[in-house]
Amino acid sequence: MQLLKDISSSLRHLFFPHVCRSCFAEITQPDQYICTRCVSELPYTGFSERDANPVEKIFFGRVRIEAATSLLYFTPASSVQQLIHQIKYKGQQKLAVYLGKMMGLEILGSDRFQGPDLVVPLPLFRSREKQRGYNQAALLGMGISEVTGIPLAPKAIKRVRASATQTRKTRAERWQNMEGIFAVSPNLEENRHILLVDDVITTGATLDACASALQQVKGTRVSIITLAYAMQ
Ligand SMILES: [Zn+2]
């Protein structure tokens, strides 16, 4: 029986080689999406244990956040950019869940992130999600939820309109542009501590707007984790 399994696994491997999504070397474990070497070489920020880290500073004076972090640095033409491109535009949904699990381990390993009782992915506008077929932030959230055991609440908040394009706007204009694009579910209970999840943080404008909307529900606290952090 084991022999048959081995043969069938090798055959499957021959026709559908399972490769690392970063360096494209072949991987033998079917549930691994990035090879061990690439995992060890990713540019980790180490922000999770740091008070007033660069991600938290983005929100200073704008919205109250309990703790915020990003797992990786985002730089152009890097392996991180490549991974994000695949989860956003190439339909690599399992890779997104896998990266979410890495984010979940980060949460478990950090004293500053003990306490969230709901994982809420940053919602996409409906037509965008329909076009893509999924919301990559929801898949990251699924991975986080699986590892940490914190329940996923993908419908806690929705995006009621797409934001206008962010290019060629001043910083102040960008923030103003974000008001009123989210609506909180009437089912969201009071006094919850939400872990808000997204793929990349740059200006933080969208996450700020989303956190502010969530905090309209009494007693809501928000922590934030993104897969990557892009320096401004
Ligand atoms: Zn690799």
| pLDDT profile of the chain (232 residues), mean per 10 | 67 69 90 93 96 97 96 93 95 96 96 95 92 96 98 95 63 62 94 98 94 95 98 82
State the pLDDT at residue 76. Answer: 86
- Same domain as 9, residue 85: no
10 Å CB burial of residue 129 (0-12, 13-18, 19+) is middle
- The CA distances from residue 120 to 20, 65, 127, 143, 188, in Å, are 28, 14, 19, 12, 11
- Same domain as 101, residue 34: no
Is residue 152 within 8 A of residue 194, CB to CB? The reply is no
Spacing, Cα 23 to ligand 1 middle (Å) = 4
- Same domain as 22, residue 56: no
Count of other CB atoms within 10 angstroms of residue 84: 23
Q: In terms of Cα–Cα distance, which of 60, 45, 77, 83 is closest to 225?
A: 45
- Same domain as 60, residue 32: no
Count of structural domains, the chain: 2
* Residue 18 lies in domain: 1-41
Spacing, Cα 17 to ligand 1 middle (Å) = 14
For the chain, what percentages of helix, strand and coil (3-state, to nearest 5) are there? 40, 20, 40
Instruction: Identify the three-state secondary structure at position 49.
Output: helix
Spacing, Cα 33 to ligand 1 middle (Å) = 9
Spacing, Cα 85 to ligand 1 middle (Å) = 16
- Same domain as 200, residue 165: yes
- 64: Cα separation from own chain's centroid: 20
Environment of ion ligand 1 (residues, CB < 5 A): 20, 22-23, 35, 38
State the pLDDT at residue 180. Answer: 80
- Same domain as 76, residue 4: no
